[in-house]
Every structure is written in C-alpha cells, then in structure tokens.
C-alpha cells in the first residue's frame, strides 16, 4: 500500500492553494531485496572519529539494463501515469537502486511543544554515532542540544527553526547487520513556527509523532495530526517521558484512537514506570528489552519477561492483533480463523497498515533517562516508508499541467524541490529534496518557475548547523546546495522535463507590528536582515506603508514577530522600536457597484486625462482579486488597460476603510476615453484607483477579521469555566469531546478577542488548561468593531493630514 501526494498551484513562488489526496493501492509486503552489492559503496569516511554512510559513489555509467528500465519507466510515467503504481516502479528498478532506496528513511519528528522532540533527536544522533556526547535542552553544561543551534533556541529552550541532519542506524536483521540511512528533521512545536513543520512534512516520507506520557494527546498534537493528514504522512508514535510522575502510556494510546481518530495500538508495554522505568517488553517477539549502561548504550534483549508482566503483555498483544485485524485483511483472516499470527506476519501487517495511513504503532520510552530509544529507531526502519513507497506527483507543463508521477530512479532526469532557504556565513543555502534522478556537483539545473539555468557549485548534507560536502546525491534523498538563487517551493529539473512540483501550504499572516531601527545608521543592516528573514520564512512578510512611512512586519503570532525583533538585535546588532501587535484585518466588498470615473487635471503644462467605466463586484475566489478587461473597439488602448489593472492592484493593497489589504474583489473595465496628449499610464492607474475607492462603499465595503481554529484542553471540572470564556468571545464551537478526565473543545474564535487569553485560561483552570490556535479563515468583523476600527483609522489619517 502506498501513499500519494498531490497538487497545489504556484504563483511567483507563493503558494495559492494545496490539496492532497490519499489513495491506497494493492498490498505488498516490504522486504529488502538482497544483500548490498559492494560496487556502489564508497569507503566510509571518518567524521568525528566515526563512520558515516556516504551515498556518493564513484561515477560510472548506469548498467545498460538499468538505464533502459529507467527510461521505459519515465516514458510510462509520462504517458500512463494513472496506471503506474509504485509497485511497478519498484519491481522494475535496478537491484542496486532498489537496495539503496530500501535503506533510506526521510523522517520528521513532530509533536506538541516541549514533548521532547529535540531531546529524542539528540539520543538518535548519539546512538547512531553522529555526536559524541549528549547535551540537554537547557542543560546545566550550557552547551545545548545539537539541533537547537540558534542562540535564542538554547536560551529559551524551545526549537524555533527546524533543523535537518542525517545518520546511519545499524540494525540487526536475520542475524545480519543492515545499515539504514536516515535523513531526519527536528521541527518546532510552537504553533507560531508551524511553517517549519509544514515544509518538513511536505518533503518527508514518514514521521515520528511524540507524545508526553503524562499529558497524552495535547492541543498541538491535534494540529500536528492535521498536518500529517494533510500531507499523507505515515507515522509511528512514541510516548516519551515515561520516567515522569504520573506517566501513563495507555492514556496516550487511547487518546490517539479517540481524539485523533487514528487507529493505534501499543507494540510494547513498559517495564516499571516513573523512576522505576527500565525498559519495555516487545509485544511482537515477546522479549524484554532493557536500556542499560552509560547513557543507555547497552540494549539487553532477553526472552525472560518479568513474571508480573506476562499476563499483561499477553493481553496487550491480543489487543494489538485485534486492532490490526480491523485494518489489515491478512491479520483479519488469521484472526477469524482463530489462529495466532507469527511475529513476521504481525510485523508485515504493521508496516502495510502504517504506510497505508490506517494505523500507527505506539512505542514508549524516556529520552531524558536514555531509555528505549533504540527500539524506536528499529521501528523507523521497520514501519516507515522508504522513498519508493510514496507516490510523488509533478505537473507536466507541456500537457496543460497534467499530473505525472516521479520515479525515484537515479538514472532518470533530475527533478527536485527547494523546500527551505537559509542564509549562513557561506551564502544562501537551499534545501532540496531529490525526487527523481541524481544531483551532481558542477552540473546545471533549470528553475521551472523562472526558466533560469543555475549551476550547482556545491552540495552538502546538513547536520544541524554543520555541513559536509558531497559530490552527488541520489533520488529519494535530502541535501542542501549553495549559491542557487530561488524561492522556497521552486522546482528544479535537468532542463529536459517540463515539470513543476506542487508545494506546501503557507498560512496567511494574522498578526502585524510596526517596526523601525532606533538609530538611522542601522538602516542598512535592518533591510539586509529583513530581506533575509523574508526569503527564509514564507510566513514572515514585510510591507512599507508609504503614507505613514512605517515598516510593518506580519507573521503567525506574537512570539513569531518577537523572535525576529530579537534576532535583529542579536544577529544584526539593530535595536528596534516596535508598535503594539495588531491583527491583520482584510477588507472586501459584498455586491456589484458601477463606476464611471473621469480624471482630468490641468496644472499648467501637460495635464492628466483618463476616463474609465465599468464595475466592481465580489470575486469568485474570496481570497484573491481579479481584473477583467471588457473594453471593445479600442476605447482604451491595451497599454492603458494594463495601467488600470496595476491601479486596481495598488488600490487593493490599501483598502479605503482601514488601509488593510482588500481581498475577494473583481474589477471589470468596459468603457473609457483617452486624450491625445494628456493620457498616460499614470493617469489611467490613478483613475482606476480613484474609481475603486469611490464605489467601495456602495459595493458594501466591509472589514474582515481572521478567525482562528482554537483547540482547548483542560480537566473536565473546568468545562463550565471554559465555555463561559469562549462565549464571552463569541466563539463558534465546532466540536467538544469529553474524555474520562479531560475534555477538548475546538472552536473558531476571532484572533482579536484572543489577546491575553493565555493568562485568563490559566486563571480559569488553575493552570491546568492549554490551548493552541491556527489560522482558519477570514470572516466579517462584527459591526461595532468595524465602526470602531474605521473611526480610529480615520482619526489617524486626519491627524496626519493636519500635521
């Protein structure tokens, strides 16, 4: 069973929409295809005294049969994409590539804030030999975890930017050691940095969802779950913090089923809990696994399950089998026949169901106590998909953007997606996921958005903020390149394939702030920093209000903007003056209104003349604007028409009511007149702007405010308090769920009414409630608010005018 990814539209590198679809096709059992051939592995290099897996291999022509099979696959992918399953792709693959891919895992770690993602990743890096010592998040040694490399992250103890790394996991299979190459991205938990999770999930094949053993499914787990579903990401679940007081993995298992509505069952039971937590019983093989020795480096596996756990383990194993029978036909059959499946049958079923997004196996451990991380790494290899398990689609521009499948063969023409940009001391770094073909140093690629040819001077593999040079990277891998000008979300090809890839979902900014450097001599550094931040983060936007000459930055929330102000200070030594955070409102119209506008100015010398007629009306797409030229008979020449379009665009940048962006408006121009000497682009642009402003009111101009999908969780006894809090904010309650101890409430609430909510929630729930918000949609602001906002804006304008 496979996962399929699909389509979004790209516009100037910005994403307009995204949609994903999942489809399950036929069941296959995933098995490695024979031992590695020795030819293609280069001698392992030494890093920090340790060996690492190098996918670069000596250049040689692909075997004739492999190249032929690959070209046949490409032809088929282009001609008959619908019928080309990953199974066919995989079956026809050159054995060398087949083996290589079967040992690659691209995974993300995603979870609620503070559940231990970075701490888990630190263990993964340590056990795989990537780092020599473990440093804790906000640890006493002051060094900080490897993946939180930014000074601010170390200080605050939170992850702000996702960080990529890679490592090798040596796993024993059938008494033989197999090396798996894992590309891993540690993502931030805070909702303000959600784009980091979004773009990591866009390019990864699988994820580890971490949960806290005490808290179980938390508000942000629900958001992460939504994101994983959006990109069809198979996941394994890891219940962390088993060493904490009150740890209970069964609550987490139950909540994944009930709250996330995702079938889940534990594949382990804990041996001891809290400070007695020692290891786990593996329910598939019925063996006890203890983490022992310094930093849990010794994994002791024994057939001797503690006496007091035997019955419990049997019971939980049965539960696992029953749950699998619900989602997997083979196990269902065995279950109905009242037979017991073999460990291999269980394992294969877990893999099938996980990859098909029907199930998540749940493991447990404690990263901080160095327990039970290695079995989780085994599970990454066993149950998460390899690159060829995932169907990735591109749009063929030569066929009207018809979908075509990408085939992860090294020998095919290159197709890759730039999913993240970052600037460091050496220049701009572009993270690329290679979907098809091989990326080689020194070769040329085409940016399918700009049609520009770029040379790839340097390829590196990232290890948090360090990097390692490689000469080539194969299909299905993740790497970063230097010196490539592009935008986040651009597709690169070898120039022969007219493909463009779909991109990730970029949420709208909801909060804005006016900002300016304290000292005028910092202006250069300020704009350098702003350019960089905007390039790196598509959710961070900047705009200069020409009237007030204020620079306004906007983003996903207060913390998001605060972090950039702080980074300006630390990284660029620019102290700034900021205004109050403001909600990013929008303006729109409700009905059609006609205009007939004449601009005629005579100020000595040549004057300005433009006459435009037409109407404005609500646009079909409420999120964007459109301009329609309906002029016949050359009443207005084409060049002035495009000036009208430009004028409309300018008018929409700054709405008449509040000076916020106008969305959902359409302008149709069907009439007009010109003057032989006085008409110009300027005059027509201005006429269109004036016409728009003049009829905006008549067209039912209104203010829109952002509504946030807000998830609140608290113990049941506080339900009344919370409903009262939400009613006060005129929230629309979408869903409530009452569990045995806790309840969850999901509501759409205006962002404007959520200022100061965290302290009120704390007060109303004795600090036991928590919430997370993500942008949902724009909706009409209540009349009293609209009136208030408009009056305030008019007063500000008045004050400026009279200055």
Binding site for ligand GTP (CB under 6 A): 111, 113-119, 136-138, 157-159, 188-190, 240-241, 243-244, 366-369
Q: Are 457 and 471 in contact (CB under 8 A)?
A: no
Partner whose footprint covers residue 221, from Mg ion, ligand GTP, none (CB < 5 to 8 Å by kind):
none
> How far apart (Å, rounded) are the C-alpha atoms in residues 711 and 715?
14
Q: Is there a binding annotation on residue 240?
A: yes
> Cα–chain-centroid distance for residue 139?
28
Q: Is there a binding annotation on residue 188?
A: yes
Q: Is there a binding annotation on residue 522?
A: no
Q: What pairing do the DSSP bridges indicate for beta strands 593-601 and 582-583? A: unpaired
Q: Is there a binding annotation on residue 619?
A: no
Three-state DSSP class for residue 588:
strand
Partner whose footprint covers residue 587, from Mg ion, ligand GTP, none (CB < 5 to 8 Å by kind):
none
Output the smallest distance, CB 485 to Mg ion, in A: 31
Q: Is there a binding annotation on residue 229?
A: no
Q: Is there a binding annotation on residue 464?
A: no
DSSP letter at 510 equals -
Partner whose footprint covers residue 405, from Mg ion, ligand GTP, none (CB < 5 to 8 Å by kind):
none
Partner whose footprint covers residue 240, from ligand GTP, Mg ion, none (CB < 5 to 8 Å by kind):
ligand GTP
Q: Is there a binding annotation on residue 134?
A: no
Output the smallest distance, CB 458 to ligand GTP, in A: 29
Q: Is there a binding annotation on residue 242?
A: yes
Q: Are 167 and 120 in contact (CB under 8 A)?
A: no
Give the residue with the Cβ less far from ligand GTP, 193 or 648: 193
Give the residue with the Cβ less far from ligand GTP, 422 or 617: 422
Taken in order 527, 530, 536, 538, the sign of the CA dihedral is negative
Question: Tokens 């016949």 identify what position?
Answer: 632
> How far apart (Å, rounded) are the C-alpha atoms in residues 507 and 18?
11
Give the residue with the Cβ less far from ligand GTP, 196 or 477: 196
Question: Can you spell out the DSSP letters for 395-420?
Answer: EEGGGTSEEEEE---TTSPPEEEEEE
Question: Can you spell out the DSSP letters for 278-330?
Answer: -EEEETTTTEEEEEESGGG-EEEEES---GGGHHHHHHHHHHHHHHHHHH-HH
Give the residue with the Cβ less far from ligand GTP, 144 or 234: 144
Cβ-closest position to ligand GTP: 189
Partner whose footprint covers residue 368, from ligand GTP, Mg ion, none (CB < 5 to 8 Å by kind):
ligand GTP
DSSP letter at 61 equals P
Partner whose footprint covers residue 162, from ligand GTP, Mg ion, none (CB < 5 to 8 Å by kind):
none
Sheet holding 287-292, edge to edge: 268-271, 279-282, 287-292, 298-302
Residue 697 CB coordination number (10 Å): 12
Output the smallest distance, CB 112 to ligand GTP, in A: 7
Output the smallest distance, CB 124 to ligand GTP, in A: 12
Give the residue with the Cβ less far from ligand GTP, 122 or 490: 122
Q: What is the 3-state secondary structure (H, E, C) of 367-379?
A: CCCCECCHHHHHH
Partner whose footprint covers residue 115, from Mg ion, ligand GTP, none (CB < 5 to 8 Å by kind):
ligand GTP
> How far apart (Å, rounded) are the C-alpha atoms in residues 229 and 22?
9
CA-angle at 256, arms to 379 and 299, nearest 5°: 30
Integer-rounded Cα radius of gyration of the chain: 29
Q: Are 134 and 123 in contact (CB under 8 A)?
A: yes
Output the smallest distance, CB 186 to Mg ion, in A: 6
> How far apart (Å, rounded) are the C-alpha atoms in residues 316 and 306?
15
Token pair for residue 694?
């003049």
Q: Are 523 and 408 in contact (CB under 8 A)?
A: no
DSSP H helices, 80-207, are 86-91, 95-102, 117-127, 151-156, 194-203
Output the smallest distance, CB 446 to ligand GTP, in A: 36
Output the smallest distance, CB 240 to ligand GTP, in A: 5
Output the smallest distance, CB 773 to ligand GTP, in A: 16
DSSP letter at 401 equals S
Q: Is there a binding annotation on residue 115?
A: yes
Q: Is there a binding annotation on residue 190?
A: yes
Partner whose footprint covers residue 4, from ligand GTP, Mg ion, none (CB < 5 to 8 Å by kind):
none
Q: Are 305 and 388 in contact (CB under 8 A)?
A: no
Partner whose footprint covers residue 745, from Mg ion, ligand GTP, none (CB < 5 to 8 Å by kind):
none
Partner whose footprint covers residue 352, from Mg ion, ligand GTP, none (CB < 5 to 8 Å by kind):
none
Helices 329-336 & 310-327 angle (0-180, nearest 10): 120
Give the residue with the Cβ less far from Mg ion, 118 or 711: 118
Q: Is there a binding annotation on residue 111?
A: yes
Give the residue with the Cβ less far from Mg ion, 188 or 517: 188
DSSP H helices, 328-479, are 329-336, 343-355, 374-383
Output the smallest distance, CB 761 to ligand GTP, in A: 19
Partner whose footprint covers residue 113, from Mg ion, ligand GTP, none (CB < 5 to 8 Å by kind):
ligand GTP
Give the residue with the Cβ less far from ligand GTP, 142 or 604: 142
Q: Is there a binding annotation on residue 117?
A: yes
Partner whose footprint covers residue 244, from ligand GTP, Mg ion, none (CB < 5 to 8 Å by kind):
ligand GTP
Output the smallest distance, CB 493 to ligand GTP, in A: 35
Q: Is there a binding annotation on residue 98?
A: no
Residues within the interface to Mg ion (CB under 5 A): 117-118, 159
CA-based nearest residue to 211, from 98, 364, 328, 75? 364
Give the residue with the Cβ less far from Mg ion, 117 or 199: 117
DSSP letter at 512 equals E
Give the residue with the Cβ less far from Mg ion, 367 or 454: 367
- Residue 712 to residues 212, 250, 260, 699: CA-CA distances in angstroms? 17, 21, 14, 38
CA-based nearest residue to 370, from 110, 172, 126? 126
Q: Which residues of 409-448 are buried (b: 16+ CB within 10 A; e: fewer)?
A: bbbbbbbbbbbbbbeeeeebbbbbbbbbbbbbbeeebbbb
Output the smallest distance, CB 239 to Mg ion, in A: 17
Burial of 52: CB neighbours in 10 Å, binned 0-12, 13-18, 19+? buried
Give the residue with the Cβ less far from ligand GTP, 137 or 222: 137
Output the smallest distance, CB 163 to ligand GTP, in A: 10
Give the residue with the Cβ less far from ligand GTP, 367 or 584: 367
Q: Is there a binding annotation on residue 135?
A: no
Partner whose footprint covers residue 739, from ligand GTP, Mg ion, none (CB < 5 to 8 Å by kind):
none
Q: Is there a binding annotation on residue 782?
A: no
Output the smallest distance, CB 161 to ligand GTP, in A: 10
- Nearest 10 degrees: CA dihedral of 368, 372, 377, 378? 180
Output the smallest distance, CB 192 to ligand GTP, in A: 11
Give the residue with the Cβ less far from ligand GTP, 366 or 744: 366
Give the residue with the Cβ less far from ligand GTP, 375 or 437: 375
> How far apart (Å, rounded) are the C-alpha atoms in residues 371 and 239?
12
Partner whose footprint covers residue 366, from ligand GTP, Mg ion, none (CB < 5 to 8 Å by kind):
ligand GTP
Q: Please enumerate, by residue number, every residue annotated as part of a binding site for GTP.
A: 111-118, 186-190, 240-243
Please report, in range form, the residues annotated as the binding site: 111-118, 186-190, 240-243
């Amino acid at each position: 069973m496979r996962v399929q990814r699909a389509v979004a539209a790209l516009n100037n590198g910005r994403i307009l929409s995204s949609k994903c679809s999942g489809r399950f096709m036929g069941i296959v059992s995933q098995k490695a295809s024979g031992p590695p051939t020795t030819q293609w592995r280069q001698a392992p290099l030494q890093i920090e005294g340790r060996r690492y897996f190098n996918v670069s291999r000596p250049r040689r022509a692909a075997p004739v049969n492999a190249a032929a099979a690959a070209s046949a696959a490409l032809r088929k992918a282009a001609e008959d994409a619908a019928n080309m399953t990953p199974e066919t792709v995989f079956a026809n693959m050159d054995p060398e590539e087949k083996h290589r891919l079967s040992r690659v895992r691209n995974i993300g770690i995603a979870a609620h804030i503070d559940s231990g993602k970075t701490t888990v990743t630190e263990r993964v890096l340590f056990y795989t030999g990537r780092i020599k010592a473990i440093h804790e998040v906000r640890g006493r040694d002051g060094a900080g975890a490897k993946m939180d490399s930014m000074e601010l992250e170390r200080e605050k103890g939170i992850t702000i930017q996702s960080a990529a790394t890679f490592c090798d996991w040596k796993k024993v299979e059938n008494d033989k050691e197999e090396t798996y190459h894992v590309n891993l991205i540690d993502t931030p938990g805070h909702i303000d940095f959600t784009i980091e999770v979004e773009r990591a999930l866009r390019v990864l094949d699988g994820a580890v969802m971490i949960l806290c053993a005490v808290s179980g499914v938390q508000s942000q787990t629900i958001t992460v779950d939504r994101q994983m579903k959006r990109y069809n990401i198979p996941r394994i679940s890891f219940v962390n913090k088993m060493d904490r007081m009150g740890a209970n993995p069964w609550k987490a298992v139950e909540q994944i089923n009930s709250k996330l509505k995702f079938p889940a069952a534990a594949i382990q039971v804990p041996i001891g809990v809290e400070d007695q937590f020692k290891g786990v019983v593996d329910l598939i093989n019925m063996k006890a696994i203890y983490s022992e020795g310094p930093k849990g480096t010794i994994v002791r596996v024994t057939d001797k399950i503690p006496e007091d756990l035997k019955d419990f383990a049997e019971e939980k194993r049965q539960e696992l089998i029953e749950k699998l029978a619900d989602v997997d036909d083979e196990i269902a059959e065995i279950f109905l026949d009242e037979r017991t499946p073999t460990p291999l049958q269980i394992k294969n079923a877990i893999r099938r169901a996980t990859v098909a997004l029907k199930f998540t196996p749940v493991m447990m451990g404690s990263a901080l106590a160095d327990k039970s991380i290695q079995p989780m790494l085994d599970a990454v290899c066993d149950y998460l998909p390899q690159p060829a398990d995932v169907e990735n689609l591109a749009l063929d521009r030569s066929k009207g953007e018809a979908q075509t499948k990408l085939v992860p063969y090294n020998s095919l023409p290159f197709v890759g997606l730039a999913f993240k940009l970052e600037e460091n001391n050496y220049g701009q770094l572009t993270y690329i996921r290679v979907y098809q073909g091989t990326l080689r140093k020194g070769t040329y690629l085409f940016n399918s958005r700009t049609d520009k040819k770029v040379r790839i001077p340097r390829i590196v593999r990232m290890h948090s903020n360090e990097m390692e040079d490689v000469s080539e990277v194969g299909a299905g891998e993740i790497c970063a390149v230097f010196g490539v000008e592009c935008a986040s979300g651009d597709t690169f090809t070898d120039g022969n394939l007219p493909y463009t890839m779909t991109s990730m979902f970029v949420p709208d900014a909801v909060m804005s702030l006016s900002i300016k450097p304290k000292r005028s001599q910092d202006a250069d550094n300020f704009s350098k920093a702003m350019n960089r931040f905007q390039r790196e983060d598509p959710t961070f936007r900047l705009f200069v209000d020409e009237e007030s000459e204020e620079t306004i930055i906007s983003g996903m929330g207060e913390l998001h903007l605060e972090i950039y102000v702080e980074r300006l200070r630390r990284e660029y030594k620019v102290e700034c003056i900021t205004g109050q955070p403001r909600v990013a409102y929008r303006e729109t119209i409700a009905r059609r209104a006609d205009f007939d506008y004449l601009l005629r100015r005579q100020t000595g010398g040549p004057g300005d003349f433009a006459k435009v007629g037409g109407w404005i009306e609500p646009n079909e797409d409420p999120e964007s604007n459109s301009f329609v030229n309906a002029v016949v008979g050359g009443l207005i020449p084409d060049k002035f028409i495009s000036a009208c379009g430009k004028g409309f665009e300018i008018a929409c940048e700054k709405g008449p009511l509040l000076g916020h962006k106008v969305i959902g408006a359409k302008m149709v121009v069907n009439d007009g007149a010109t003057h032989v000497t006085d008409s110009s682009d300027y005059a027509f642009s201005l006429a269109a702007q004036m016409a728009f402003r003049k009829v905006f009111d008549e067209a039912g101009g209104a203010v829109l405010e952002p509504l946030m999908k807000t998830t609140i969780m608290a113990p049941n006894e506080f339900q009344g308090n919370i409903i009262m809090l939400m009613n006060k904010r005129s929230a629309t309650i979408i869903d409530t769920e009452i569990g045995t101890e806790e309840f969850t409430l999901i509501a759409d609430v205006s962002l404007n009414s959520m200022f100061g909510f965290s302290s009120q929630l704390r007060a109303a729930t004795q600090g036991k409630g928590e919430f997370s918000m993500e942008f949902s949609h724009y909706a009409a602001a209540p009349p009293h608010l609209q009136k208030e906002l408009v009056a305030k804006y008019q007063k500000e304008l008045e004050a400026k005018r009279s200055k």
